């Protein structure tokens, strides 16, 4: 590696750095296996009676899968924060607007 | 200000994005492959545009999912969600789409390594997995229709077909982009800086996957 520091924030990255940046192929496969296991757990949950924690558990597992794909497969965890702001701003806006709309229609009553 | 040695194949960035590339000898730098662009932000405008587009797509699918949630209990005639969904079949479809995200990310990693052969291979596998998913959706729609669930049968059926149909169209568009990309790579029309297009198509594909992650849970797994 031939990193060359410009100042505290500015770094010269070589192509080698970039290739080392983010997960390796093997790590991607492990992440995919984790996602598959979570999906399997979701399906199993629908066939067993876990009582009132059923829906919250499914929502948590869904959120975990969502964040894993966005962070690792879409590289948001390793990319510039501006990309995260653009995406999560849209997502947050959508959640706010539609949860409000669902409240308006008394969906949660 | 830093002059890079000719042929050094280096990219200048802050921690994953440059604010000021200044007078760096950009001609020797593979900017786009390394996340650095000759823009005022130092970021690729194409990538910014794609993330902005994906953010706006959250609003589109948010609207469709909310509409489905409101109407899924409105079954005046025809079968309801509890009677018609085939969870094992949809679970396999979901697994296929999930694995297509893995093959897509492997294609992007191969493109970053300038490994043309594996890039084309993984893009093709991704397109095939996507086609399998869409084929499954067509089969599911056909089965539902035969069981009496037409588009206008009930508010539930209309909102269900609209939501999952929109998603299916997105997957189909993704498959077309993947195959077009394989063709362009074969003709050496995606080289150097333009290799970023593989990453952009990848972002779109992963987005389609995360939308399905939400649909699978909210529509299929959580009962009405």
Please tell me which residue, A93 or B8, carries the higher pLDDT value.
A93
| β-pair partners for B17 | B14
pTM for this predicted structure: 0.82
Same domain for A22 and A38? Answer: yes
Which segments of chain B are extended strands (E)? 10-13
CA B79 remoteness from chain centre: 32
- Most A CBs within 10 Å, among B56, B89, B210, to test the A interface: B210
Per-residue model confidence as pLDDT tens digits over B20-76: 333 333 343 444 445 566 777 788 889 999 999 999 999 999 999 999 999 988 888
Q: B11–A89: do the CB atoms touch at under 8 Å? A: no
Predicted local distance difference test score (pLDDT) of residue B66: 94
Residue B217, sorted as left (phi over 0), alpha (psi -120 to 50) or beta, turns out to be alpha
Predicted local distance difference test score (pLDDT) of residue A107: 77
> What is the three-class DSSP state of B88?
helix
Same domain for A36 and A57? Answer: yes
**For residue A60, what pLDDT band results from cuts at 50, 70 and 90?**
very high
pLDDT at A18 over 90: no
- Alpha-carbon distance A90 to nearest alpha carbon in chain B (angstroms): 4
**Using CA atoms, how far apart are residues A27 and A23, in angstroms rounded to an integer?**
6
Predicted local distance difference test score (pLDDT) of residue B23: 39
Same domain for A85 and A67? Answer: no
**Using CA atoms, how far apart are residues B25 and B12, in angstroms rounded to an integer?**
10
pLDDT at B91 over 50: yes
Chain-wide mean pLDDT for chain A? Answer: 82
pLDDT at B6 over 50: no
Q: Which helix (H) or strand (E) holds B137?
A: helix B116-146
- B19: closest CA among A3, A83, A10, A4? A10
pLDDT at B206 over 50: yes
**For residue B207, what pLDDT band results from cuts at 50, 70 and 90?**
very high
**Using CA atoms, how far apart are residues B205 and B202, in angstroms rounded to an integer?**
5
- Ranking A2-6, B192-196, B210-214 by mean pLDDT, the lowest is A2-6
Predicted local distance difference test score (pLDDT) of residue A19: 42
Q: A36–B95: do the CB atoms touch at under 8 Å? A: yes
Express as a percent the part of chain B with pLDDT over 90: 65
Q: Does domain B4-221 have CATH number 1.20.120.80?
A: yes
Please tell me which residue, A47 or A2, carries the higher pLDDT value.
A47
Chain-wide mean pLDDT for chain B? Answer: 84
**For residue B223, what pLDDT band results from cuts at 50, 70 and 90?**
confident
Same domain for A60 and A91? Answer: no
Average pLDDT over residues B199-220: 96
Instruction: Give the nearest chain A residue to B61 (CA atoms).
Output: A94
Same domain for A61 and A23? Answer: yes
Same domain for A24 and A6? Answer: yes
Which H, E and C letters describe chain A, residue by residue? Answer: CCCEECCCCCEEEEHHHHHHCCCCHHHHHHHHHHHHHHHHHHHHHHHCCCHHHHHHHHHHHHHHHHHHHHHHHCCCCCCCHHHHHHHHHHHHHHHHHHHHHHHHCCCCC
Same domain for A55 and A9? Answer: yes
Predicted local distance difference test score (pLDDT) of residue B168: 97
**For residue B224, what pLDDT band results from cuts at 50, 70 and 90?**
low
Predicted local distance difference test score (pLDDT) of residue B39: 78
**For residue B7, what pLDDT band results from cuts at 50, 70 and 90?**
very low
**Using CA atoms, how far apart are residues B200 and B68, in angstroms rounded to an integer?**
30
Domain layout of chain B by residue ranges: 4-221
Same domain for A84 and A37? Answer: no
**Using CA atoms, how far apart are residues A40 and B95, in angstroms rounded to an integer?**
9
**Using CA atoms, how far apart are residues B224 and A70, in angstroms rounded to an integer?**
28
pLDDT at A33 over 70: yes
Do B206 and B104 contact (CB within 8 A), yes or no? yes
> What is the three-class DSSP state of B169?
helix
pLDDT at B118 over 50: yes
Do A42 and A61 contact (CB within 8 A), yes or no? yes
Range of the domain at A95: 80-109
* ipTM (interface pTM): 0.81
Where do we find the tokens 């089965």?
B143
Same domain for A53 and A95? Answer: no
- Alpha-carbon distance A34 to nearest alpha carbon in chain B (angstroms): 11
Instruction: Give the nearest chain B residue to A72 (CA atoms).
Output: B105
Number of domains in chain A: 2
């Amino acid at each position: 590696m031939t990193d060359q520091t410009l100042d505290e924030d500015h770094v010269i990255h070589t192509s080698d750095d970039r290739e080392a940046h983010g997960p390796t192929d093997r790590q991607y496969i492990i992440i995919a296996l984790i996602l598959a296991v979570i999906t399997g757990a979701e399906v199993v949950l629908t066939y067993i009676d876990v009582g009132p924690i059923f829906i919250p558990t499914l929502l948590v597992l869904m959120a975990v899968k969502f964040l894993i794909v966005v962070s690792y497969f879409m590289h948001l965890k390793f990319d510039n924060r501006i990309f995260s702001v653009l995406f999560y701003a849209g997502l947050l806006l959508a959640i706010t607007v539609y949860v409000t709309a669902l409240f308006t229609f008394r969906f949660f009553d | 200000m830093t002059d890079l040695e000719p042929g050094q194949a280096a990219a200048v960035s802050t921690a994953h994005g440059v604010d000021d590339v200044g007078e760096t000898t950009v001609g020797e730098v593979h900017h786009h492959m390394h996340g650095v662009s000759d823009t005022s932000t130092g970021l690729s405008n194409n990538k910014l545009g794609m993330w902005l587009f994906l953010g706006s797509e959250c609003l589109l699918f948010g609207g469709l999912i909310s509409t489905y949630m409101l109407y899924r209990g409105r079954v005046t005639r025809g079968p309801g969600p509890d009677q018609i969904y085939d969870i094992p079949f949809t679970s396999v479809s979901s697994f296929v789409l999930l694995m297509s995200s893995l093959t897509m990310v492997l294609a992007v990693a191969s493109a970053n390594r300038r490994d043309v052969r594996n890039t084309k291979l993984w893009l093709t596998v991704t397109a095939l997995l996507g086609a399998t998913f869409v084929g499954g959706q067509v089969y599911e729609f056909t089965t539902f229709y035969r069981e009496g669930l037409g588009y206008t049968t009930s508010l539930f059926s209309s909102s269900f077909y609209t939501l999952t149909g929109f998603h299916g169209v997105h997957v189909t568009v993704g498959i077309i982009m993947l195959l077009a990309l394989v063709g362009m790579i074969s003709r050496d029309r995606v080289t150097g800086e333009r290799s970023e297009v593989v990453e952009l198509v990848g972002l779109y594909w992963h987005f389609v996957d995360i939308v399905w992650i939400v649909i699978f849970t909210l529509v299929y797994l959580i009962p009405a």
